[in-house]
Structure formats: C-alpha cells, structure tokens
Amino acid sequence: MTLPRPSGPHPDMSPCRDGEAGGRVPVAALQGALAAEHAAVWVYGVAGAFVSSALTRRLDEAATAHQARRDATERLLLDAGVTPAPPEPGYLSPEPVTDAASALRLVITAETDAAGAWRSVVERSPNDPDLRGAALEALTAAAVRATRWRVIAGTVPLTVPFPGAP
Amino acid sequence: MALAAAVAGAHSALAAAANALAADRAAHARTLRAELHRVHPDPVPASAPQPAPPVVPPPVSPDPAAAKAALTQAMRAAQDEAAALVLTLPGYRAALLASVAACCATHTALLT
C-alpha cells in the first residue's frame, strides 16, 4: 500500500454518508477511491524516472487513465455536494524506489490499491447501477494494468483470482 | 475450468496461461459455492451424497490459434456474465462478482 505521509484526515475518518437515508452516493468509499487515484498519479510520476524509455508510453497511458478517473471521481463527489479530498502533500513508498524493478513494484502496488478501493465502491453502491458500472470498469482496468506490469516485471503469478479483494 | 485444462493438455505453448486460468476459475467456483451455501445453507436434505457427474473433456482444436481463441471467447463470456450480475446483486456478492469479472479480463489480456 502506498501510504500518505501523516497529515490531514484519513479518508475513512471523513464524514460517512454511506447508507444514510436518501444519500445514494457512498461518500467514504468514493473518497477512498479518489485517494487511491491521487496516489496512483503520484506513483506513475515517480516511476517514470526509473524505467526504460521503451516503457514511457505505457506509463503515460496509465497515468492518463488515473488522472481521468481522479477527475471523474472529483466531479461525482462535487455533484453530491461533497468536497473531494485533495492529494496528500507527500506519499511514502513502501520501499525506496531506486531502479526499474522497484519502480515496477510500486506501480503494481498502486494498481492493487486502486482495484481494492474501486471494489469497495462496487460493494457500497447498491442503488446506483451507473456508479457500480463505473466502479467495476475502474476495478477491471486496474486489475488488467497490474497484470500487464507483472508480465513486464517478471512477477509470478501474473494474475490473482479476486482482484481488489482485501 | 474443463476447457482450460483440456487446452493445457493439448497445447504445451498455451499450458502456462491455460493452467493459471484454470486455477483462478477453480478458485471462483469454490468461493461462489461457499457464498451460495452461506446464503442458502443446506438447500438439500443431508441424504446420500449425489455421485459427481462424469467430467467429459470438451473438444479442443488441434490448431493452437483456434484453441487460444476458444479460451479467449470463454473468458470474455465469463467476464460478461459476472459483470451483468454485479449490477443486480447485493453489496458483498456484487463485489465478489466484480472481482471475478476483473480476473477474467486479466486472463483475456494475457491471451490477446
């Protein structure tokens, strides 16, 4: 997991409207997904400095996908009358990123975190097929990217049976 | 997944991908069975256990490209089936099926 440097409230501690009567948007789960997208955007920025230029296009595509997901999630929260959580001022990588191998491990971690966060949105959006569909799409995209990075990193197994599961 | 096992046996170049796929699909089947059992415990009275139906290996094309295409098609169908259920099931089961759909997509990505 990519840990935010300690500061500000953790997404789980923000006001939770999940399950509130009339509230259709699972705010805590969406803020969690937004936090994962902020972290992923940061991670891809860091990784770009360590991987070979042959992978630059793939990294850029992944970063663009996370930026788009981040922006869409912010819009969803704003539309629900909720202030989207900003990115953390800094992030702690679980291990120092010093070369291509550790950079790839970090992006796989970021995709794994994103898959987990979007799976939570699926779980907590029972009355909103549109949001569920979008969350499923985000979970699937993160899982596929994680698998593609594992291929490049030579990490086995290449797949997990339940992407996003805790 | 019987097709994946049959493909793995018939085409050594596809064996690694097909065996990984079979292992993940077996995990899906186990977990979904357990979940069904949790929701509907013991739907059948505990009588004599039913004998397992004989497993008939599905036909596998001798052409590796065709066998790979069949496996890909099966994964896409499984992904679609799980994804459709995600939209209708209650929370925990929807999340489970969402992971199943995502996993199927990862195998499709490896095969194509």
- The structural domains of chain A, ordered by start, are 26-153 (1.20.1260.10)
Average pLDDT on A13-29 reads 59
Contact flag A163-B103 (C-beta cutoff 8 Å): yes
Does residue B51 lie in a domain region? no
Q: What is the per-residue pLDDT for A96? A: 92
Alpha-carbon distances, residue B109 vs A2, A146, A151 (angstroms): 25, 11, 11
Contact flag A132-B91 (C-beta cutoff 8 Å): no
Q: Token pair for residue A149?
A: 């990075």
Q: What is the per-residue pLDDT for B43? A: 60
Domain count for chain B, please give it: 1
Chain B contact set for A123 (CB, 8 A): 91-92, 94-95
Is A162 an 8 Å CB contact of chain B?
yes
Alpha-carbon distances, residue B72 vs B19, B20, B111 (angstroms): 14, 13, 6
pLDDT for residue A9 is more than 50:
no
Does residue B67 lie in a domain region? yes
State the pLDDT confidence band at B59, using cuts at 50, 70 and 90.
confident
- What is d(CA A33, CA A90) in angstroms, rounded to the nearest whole number? 17
State the pLDDT confidence band at A15, using cuts at 50, 70 and 90.
very low
Mutate one of B97, B106, B107 to test the A interface: name it (highest A CB count within 10 A). B106
State the pLDDT confidence band at A69, using cuts at 50, 70 and 90.
very high
Contact flag B103-A139 (C-beta cutoff 8 Å): no
- What is d(CA A87, CA A4) in angstroms, rounded to the nearest whole number? 9
Encode B50-64: b = buried (16+ Cβ within 10 Å), e = exposed.
eeeeeeeeeebeeee
- What is d(CA A116, CA A166) in angstroms, rounded to the nearest whole number? 7
Q: What is the ipTM of this complex?
A: 0.88
Average pLDDT on A32-40 reads 98
Q: What is the per-residue pLDDT for A23? A: 58
Distance from CA of B27 to the nearest CA of A (A): 7
Burial class from Cβ neighbours inside 10 Å (0-12, 13-18, 19+) for residue A19 reads: exposed
Does residue B53 lie in a domain region? no
DSSP class of A84? P
Torsion sign, CA atoms B52, B53, B54, B58: negative
Is A58 an 8 Å CB contact of chain B?
no
State the pLDDT confidence band at B40, using cuts at 50, 70 and 90.
confident
Contact flag A147-B109 (C-beta cutoff 8 Å): yes
Is B85 an 8 Å CB contact of chain A?
no
Does residue B48 lie in a domain region? no
Instruction: Name the least confident of A35-44, A101-110, A154-163, B41-50.
Output: B41-50
pLDDT for residue A12 is more than 60:
no
Q: What is the per-residue pLDDT for B33? A: 93
Does residue B74 lie in a domain region? yes
Top pLDDT among A8 and A128 is at A128
For tokens 């992944």, name the residue: A62
pLDDT for residue A133 is more than 70:
yes
Q: What is the per-residue pLDDT for B88? A: 92
Residue A157, preceding peptide bond in cis (omega within 30° of 0) = yes
Does residue B92 lie in a domain region? yes
Q: What is the per-residue pLDDT for A16? A: 40
Orientation angle between helical segments B91-111 and B64-86, nearest 10 degrees: 160
Which tens digits make up the pLDDT trace of A74-97? Answer: 999 999 999 999 999 889 888 999
Does residue B49 lie in a domain region? no
Mean pLDDT, all residues of chain B: 89
Question: Which residue segment(s) compose the domain that B73 sits in?
Answer: 2-38+63-111
Distance from CA of B4 to the nearest CA of A (A): 15
pLDDT for residue A18 is more than 50:
no
